[in-house]
Chains A and B, each alone.
Chain A
Amino acid sequence: MRLPEQVTRLGIVIAIIVAAVLLLRFVILPDSLFSARPHQAAAVEREMAKPLRHAGVAACRECHEEQFELKYGGKHRNIGCENCHGPSARHAADENAEKPRLPREREFCLACHGFDASRPNGFPQVDPQQHKPRKKCVACHDAHDPVPPKTPQECGGCHGRIERTKALSTHALLACSSCHTVDERHMTEPRLARPTKPDSRETCGGCHAAGSTDPAASKAVVDLASHGGTYVCWECHYAHLPEGRK
């Protein structure tokens, strides 16, 4: 059977059109035009291909397990290695390519531990002028396990500001223990066992109550029954500097 000429011609036209569409679709037009978000997909791809600079703690741990364990047992457990040692992805890929930095100067530690009033309460801070000036931090503290080699035994080791204030006050000769009871554990775990504060007026009253025979306190004698109502003395008077502002 021979096809009518019209059908053959139509077939050829259809074939040409299909070929043209396929050519347009697969050769001429770029692939990205058919993605749901054409240019965005390419931008995302570029963004994902950017090189890493920080390797991450897990990569450091693969080789430096010992240092990781030491750090994990100490106060710096939550600090990533690259916080101090700097971006080390190149070192992680090839240990000879680059040595991570090893900061040993005072200023580096002080960036976190220098006193700054805006830092949260309880964060360990030192006044760089008062705390072993000119001595390197790493001379006494191991940065991977930074508890000082010897726990301070005097109160002033940690509470230097209070000690210096008190030394200039009329209470200079009183020991800390005359008002505070300090648990042994406070020396090693300061927040778990806090020192007591006087909870009654009798503590101050021992020297400052009317009829006191203590010559040093004779200038500041009050009648406990009429002075201050129900308040404990330190709620109004700052005992470390009693002559200061009230």
Chain B
Amino acid sequence: MNKREFLKDAILFFPAAATLQALAPTAEGKAESAKTPPDYDATRHWYGMGIDVDKCIGCNRCVEACKAENDVPDEPFFFRTWIERYQIRQNGETTVECISTRAAPPEQAEPEDPTVVRTFFVPKLCNQCAHPPCVQVCPVGATFQTQDGVVLVDAERCIGCRYCIQACPYGARYLNPKTRTADKCTFCYHRITEGLLPACVEVCPTEARIFGDLKGRADRLVRFHRVNPISVLKPDLNTEPKVLYARLDGEVR
């Protein structure tokens, strides 16, 4: 490259670079404001859910409401949220049964099993981990964490490889048979961004589920976090779940 060529390139480079520089932020700002409602700022939220295990009565209304709200297939093995019954026996044996797979509640009360020492229901759903393993493994970047902490799936990018379903330590994902893409709890993202509660929280009859914003100073969930002994599922995996369980039995996995 001689002197003349160098000068020519340099003269052309700077105005072009400056133009791009000046245009980029304004263009991005315009795109953002067109996409999200102006009154919703995702960076000011960090959503989570509190579950009071002592209050769950295992009525399955949350499962029904979730299926209705989010078009989850009716077959009793596709769930965004489900309920497990734990039974801990005298010999230390623990049995776990997903009661959401039942078609209807039993006709008559089941006889009490005298060997069961304690028994309770545990609602489960996507833990909306702060460090989600499912996001790490997605080969096409279809699943991601939003700025308000919710892990979403982009159904248009998902190739249905099921890798995230394998990676989720909580079994919270399933492959939607209609779209052939991975699907999971979104905390009812279309509801919470409008200031409504997720469908499962809306219908829970005993307030076993609390929805809130961990960034809110006077939020219900922050108070729930403060006054209850809190544990999370599989803390040893360092996924930092945002679904907080109060008074969770040590047997729950």
- A56–B196 CB distance below 8 A: yes
Is B154 on the interface with A (CB-CB < 8 A)?
Answer: yes
Is B237 on the interface with A (CB-CB < 8 A)?
Answer: no
Q: How large is the interface on A (under 10, 10 to 19, 20 to 34, 35 or more residues)?
A: 35 or more
Interface string of A18-59 (1 = CB under 8 A from B): 100110011000011011110111111111111111101100
A241 to chain B, nearest CB (A): 14
Question: Contacts A82-B203, A112-B59; is A47 near B31 (CB within 8 Å)?
Answer: no
**Which of chain A's residues have a CB closer than 8 A to the CB of B60?**
111
- B202–A127 CB distance below 8 A: no
- B35–A56 CB distance below 8 A: no
Question: Contacts A40-B154, A83-B61; is A14 near B15 (CB within 8 Å)?
Answer: yes
A-B contact pairs, 15 of them (CB 8 A): A22-B19, A32-B31, A34-B28, A40-B154, A45-B36, A48-B37, A53-B199, A54-B69, A80-B202, A83-B205, A116-B110, A117-B110, A118-B119, A119-B121, A120-B120
The interface centre, meaning the residue of B36, B37, B197, B205 with most chain A CB atoms within 10 A of its CB, is: B205
> Contact check: which of B20, B113, B116, B189 meets A25 at CB < 8 Å?
B20
The interface centre, meaning the residue of B55, B86, B105 with most chain A CB atoms within 10 A of its CB, is: B105
**Bound complex: CA A34 to CA B20 (Å):** 11
**Bound complex: CA A57 to CA B154 (Å):** 30
Q: How large is the interface on B (under 10, 10 to 19, 20 to 34, 35 or more residues)?
A: 35 or more
The interface centre, meaning the residue of A22, A35, A45, A115 with most chain B CB atoms within 10 A of its CB, is: A35
Question: Contacts A10-B11, A53-B199, A54-B65; is A118 near B121 (CB within 8 Å)?
Answer: yes
B80 to chain A, nearest CB (A): 13
A242 to chain B, nearest CB (A): 19
- B157–A43 CB distance below 8 A: yes
A146 to chain B, nearest CB (A): 11
Question: Main SS of chain B's interface residues?
Answer: mixed
Interface residues of B (CB under 8 A from A): 8, 11-12, 15-16, 19-20, 23-24, 27-28, 30-32, 35-37, 42, 54-61, 65, 68-70, 85-87, 104-110, 112-113, 116, 119-121, 141, 144, 146, 152-157, 186, 189-191, 193-194, 196-197, 199, 202-207
Question: Contacts A56-B202, A118-B87, A118-B120; is A50 near B190 (CB within 8 Å)?
Answer: yes
Question: Contacts A18-B19, A40-B144, A53-B68; is A83 near B203 (CB within 8 Å)?
Answer: yes
**Bound complex: CA A87 to CA B11 (Å):** 65
**Which of chain A's residues have a CB closer than 8 A to the CB of B203?**
54, 79-80, 82-83
- B146–A31 CB distance below 8 A: no
Nearest B residue to A53 via CB reads: B69
**Which of chain A's residues have a CB closer than 8 A to the CB of B194?**
52
* Complex A-B, nearest 3 residue pairs according to Cβ-Cβ distance, in ascending order: A43-B154, A115-B109, A50-B190
**Bound complex: CA A43 to CA B190 (Å):** 12
**Bound complex: CA A204 to CA B207 (Å):** 43
**Bound complex: CA A149 to CA B152 (Å):** 49
- A44–B31 CB distance below 8 A: no
**Bound complex: CA A144 to CA B60 (Å):** 20
- A52–B28 CB distance below 8 A: no
- A114–B105 CB distance below 8 A: yes
**Which of chain A's residues have a CB closer than 8 A to the CB of B202?**
54, 56-57, 80, 82
Nearest B residue to A128 via CB reads: B108
Interface string of A75-105 (1 = CB under 8 A from B): 0101110110011000000000000000000
- B189–A41 CB distance below 8 A: no
> Contact check: which of B56, B68, B196 meets A86 at CB < 8 Å?
B68
Is A236 on the interface with B (CB-CB < 8 A)?
Answer: no
